[in-house]
A and B are shown apart, each in its own frame.
Chain A
Amino acid sequence: MDLILFLVFAGIAVVAAINVVVQRHPISSAVSLIAVMGSLAVLYLLLGAEFIAAAQVIVYAGAVMVLFVFVIMLLNAGGETKAGRSFVASLLGVPVLVALLVALLALLAFFSARLYPRDTEVHFGGFRGGTAQAVGRALFTTYLLPFEITSILILIAIVGAIVLARKELE
């Protein structure tokens, strides 16, 4: 059952991810990206990380992508036009892509077998478990400092965005 669900949603994620790049229209790309994030949430659920799955849907598929769609609608962006292909790109594009994919697969196969032998529980460092309670406990005890630093980083980003937007208005 888990394997079937994994194959289905991993398949959807991959196809939708390719679709993000292939589609000409920004809205279609955005919708495909939402599908990618939704299927990623299901994959997290299959790994037992229910809080991450919910956060993935609420934050990424919900809030971030709504903003993407919102901006595309606001700018009323039309379809992309095909740029003239450079000679180098048309010559090297497909071979380089294939080479990169093969290299990635080889690396994954090599390292995952070494680092994560079969039947190990999914974990992040020393942290195992994915319930909201476990994640909250870890965030506010073991990883308190990184958590607070991240929140300050986000605050700085928000302030920066407002300052930049303000300047343009004046």
Chain B
Amino acid sequence: MSGDLRDLYQEVIFDHYKRPRNRGALDAATHRAEGHNPLCGDQVTIYLDVDDGVVKDVRFEGAGCAIATASASLMTEALKGRTVEAVEALFRRFHDLVTDDNAKASPDLGKLEVLAGVREFPARVKCATLAWHTLNAALRNRHEPVSTE
């Protein structure tokens, strides 16, 4: 495998694709939103349990390709225990990570850094950001499904 393909398909990504964390519905959800990528038909539902401005629990259903599924799984791991403000800041940092070649590494991103390789594959950026855009909609309690288009 040449360098950049390995950058995209890192072991952590395969791990989260094959064994996604926090997958399934969350009955106690205070926030929920659906997102889809019309290019490939992939769909994801994000469930959040927010109490006193803090994310107590987060789960997801759906996703699709290795990048979309791993990104959703890694996102759920990264969010628990954060305040809503901290989640929004993390979203902006993650978005820069996968779209901006000059983005600086931030210790806050932790394991999410493995998705930086997506930058070199413009057709796949939407796979990595689908769960995050859906999360953003859930926090705003938007009921219209989110589209990556």
Do chains A and B stick together as partners? no
